[in-house]
């Protein structure tokens, strides 16, 4: 038989081993979570860098300037590929939209390359490329600010927050001629169903103050309630009550009547 000291020491060693294994598993789990978060954040950084590069290329084309590097850069997304290969858990719907966005951007670049090689006017294919960039910016915004949620499911947001987000990413409003980029992104998000405030005005100041307003014709007007006219009134006026009829005996001269 083992002694009590031996049994106590063995139990202590087992407890230490169990705690060590639990600590190792806990650290591994935390490290894995940290890697997953950083990998998903890298998807947004990758899309942002590709967007800024394509915006610089389109800006040079629309302003008749040479493209930096001499040619359009091919769209590559190793970070997104790593998410799929490693099986990182995330919003698969949003990741699929980002993958489709990359394909659209590459397709628009191919159109520009083919038009340039054929000697055609690039202004015919540039609007489609700019439209793809605006869609990609909305996708990046929803991914970074709302976890890749659908525009209709995203919480109500002020438009100045979208503009401040674009300013923080270095997206200049006049990167394309005859277009305010931030306004276009806001309107695209609103078109896709996102609730943005304040809502666009329906009248100019002159039109609004020139409107003829009838307070009595408005059922919701303040300090005014339209009364419903009843053609058949069932209420009748009560007949006047004579004081003599209510008394138990007639009142003579000089008598006082106490009422109440």
Two tokens, residue 21? 């294994």
Mean pLDDT of the chain: 80
N-to-C CA span, the chain:
107
Q: How does pLDDT run across 162-171, given as a tens digit for each residue?
A: 999 999 998 9
Sequence-ordered list of residues with C-beta below 8 angstroms from that of 133, at least 6 positions apart, any chain: 51, 54, 55, 58, 105
- C-alpha distances (whole Å) from 11 to each of 15, 90, 240 are 6, 42, 103
Write down the pLDDT at residue 194: 92
- C-alpha distances (whole Å) from 4 to each of 7, 11, 18, 115, 233 are 5, 11, 21, 88, 103
- Average pLDDT of span 11-18: 81
Write down the pLDDT at residue 226: 54
Q: Per mean pLDDT, which range of 61-65, 199-203, 246-250 is the poorest?
A: 246-250
Write down the pLDDT at residue 260: 44
pTM value > 0.85: no
Is residue 189 within 8 Å of 151, Cβ to Cβ?
A: yes
Report the C-alpha gap between 253 and 83 in whole angstroms: 110
Write down the pLDDT at residue 223: 64
């Amino acid at each position: 038989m083992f002694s009590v000291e031996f049994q106590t020491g063995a139990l202590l060693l087992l407890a230490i081993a169990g705690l060590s294994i639990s600590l190792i598993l806990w650290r591994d789990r935390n490290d894995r979570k940290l890697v997953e978060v950083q990998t998903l954040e890298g998807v947004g950084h990758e899309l942002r860098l590709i967007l800024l590069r394509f915006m610089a290329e389109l800006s040079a084309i629309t302003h008749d300037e040479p493209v930096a590097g001499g040619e359009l850069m091919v769209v590559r997304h190793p970070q997104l590929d790593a998410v799929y290969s490693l099986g990182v858990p995330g919003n698969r719907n949003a990741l699929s939209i980002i993958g489709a966005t990359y394909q659209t951007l590459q397709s628009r670049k191919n159109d520009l390359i083919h038009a340039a090689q054929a000697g055609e006017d690039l202004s015919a294919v540039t609007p489609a490329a700019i439209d793809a960039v605006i869609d990609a910016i909305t996708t990046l915004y929803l991914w970074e600010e709302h976890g890749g949620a659908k525009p209709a499911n995203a919480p109500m947001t002020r438009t100045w927050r979208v503009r401040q987000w674009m300013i923080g990413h270095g997206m200049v409003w006049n990167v394309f001629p005859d277009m305010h980029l931030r306004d276009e992104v806001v309107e695209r998000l609103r078109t896709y169903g996102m609730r943005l405030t304040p809502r666009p005005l329906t009248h100019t100041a002159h039109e609004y103050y020139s409107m003829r307003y009838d307070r009595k014709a408005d059922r919701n007007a303040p300090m005014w309630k339209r009364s419903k006219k009843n053609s058949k009134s069932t209420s009748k006026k009560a007949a006047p009550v004579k004081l003599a009829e209510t008394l138990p005996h007639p009142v003579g001269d000089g008598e006082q009547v106490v009422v109440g």
